[in-house]
Amino acid sequence: MIIVTGGAGFIGSNLIHALNKKGESDILLVDNLTNGHKMQNIADLNIADYMDKNDFITRLENPNFLTHIRAVFHQGACSATTEWDGRYIMANNYEYSKRLLEWCQSKHIPFIYASSASVYGLGKHGFHVDRASEKPINMYAYSKFQFDQYVRRILPRANSQIVGLRYFNVYGSREQHKGSMSSTAFHFNNQLETGDEVKLFGECDGFSNGEQQRDFVYINDVVAVNLWFLENSHHSGIFNVGTGQAQTFNTMAQAVIDWHKQGKIRYIPFPEHLKGAYQSFTEADISTLRAVGYEQEFMNVQQGVNDYLNRLNRA
């Protein structure tokens, strides 16, 4: 059996979908379905069982709970970068992750988990997987950073695979439940479904209108990296998951406009409350990912958006 926490979420549900396509259905999906709209992500998936997150955490204490586990994909977390309840964030993203990792280590189970590029903060020291580059600027980022630090202490004595994947700006199918936290591709598409323009931030941080840059990575590529580590369980460590090539918000907007074959860009003033707390540039250093043997190429924005909107608008 394979366990996927956060299995009803964006990345988790896509991961299960990909596992299904490979013939895997002996899967335990763990999540919190308080937001029942997430069921739209999992209605087409084949799983062995569903378990509420709180029940799952409680049952980890039972030494006879679950046997013959092939791997755990830990995608479950509070992903809101705007959440400032530190106790809530640390309980969900840090303590929960520690308990699950310790359980996996006690049973020699590979543990592949979601970290985040948010640990790099404003990116003033680059986007390399090393302590010198890391400076989180919100509670979500801090919780991910602190768990990565915990993993670094465990790795030298680990008895089974531990892999942390620092996702950059992921976009793609099954993200509609995320609301304001959905990708720009999703929001731009919705704006053109109801109007004739997409809205981008104007100049900020020395970047002209819409020229802020992010490493936009397509969900299919993110899933492919996860599955590669499943099949290569002799590799452990923390790795960036991005294309390695930043592209502008203008490029993202234009890709959506090109798919719709109509629309224009309107720039809006940069919000005051985001000044000093916004990543105007991200670009993954994927050298460590390449060094362990991951060779698959990543889609650029034009390729990813075309595939995404074909699925989103013609479903």
Catalytic residue from among 107, 135, 178, 199:
178
CA gap 203, 267 in Å, rounded: 9
Cα→Cα distances 170→14, 23, 27, 68, 192, Å: 12, 25, 24, 32, 20
List the structure tokens of 311: 């699925």
Q: Reply yes or no on whether 140 is catalytic.
A: yes
- What 3-state class would DSSP assign to 122? coil
Direct distance between the N- and C-terminal alpha carbons of the chain, in angstroms, rounded to an integer: 30
Sequence-distant (6+) residues with CB within 8 A of 158 are 105, 236
**What is the CA 211 to chain-centroid distance, rounded?**
23
Q: Reply yes or no on whether 178 is catalytic.
A: yes
DSSP label at residue 91: I
Task: Phi first, then psi: give them for residue 97, nearest 5 degrees.
Answer: -65, -40
Q: What is the CA radius of gyration of the chain?
A: 19
List the structure tokens of 138: 């919100």
Residue 37 region by backbone torsions, left for phi larger than 0, else alpha for psi between -120 and 50, else beta: alpha
Buried (b) or exposed (e) across 10-29, using 16+ Cβ within 10 A? Answer: bbbbbbbbbbeeeebeebbb
Considering only the C-alpha atoms of the chain, give the largest distance between any 2 of them, rounded to a whole number of Å. 59
Cα→Cα distances 193→122, 260, 312, Å: 32, 9, 12
CA gap 107, 37 in Å, rounded: 34
Catalytic residue from among 96, 113, 120, 140:
140
Which amino acids are annotated catalytic? 140, 178
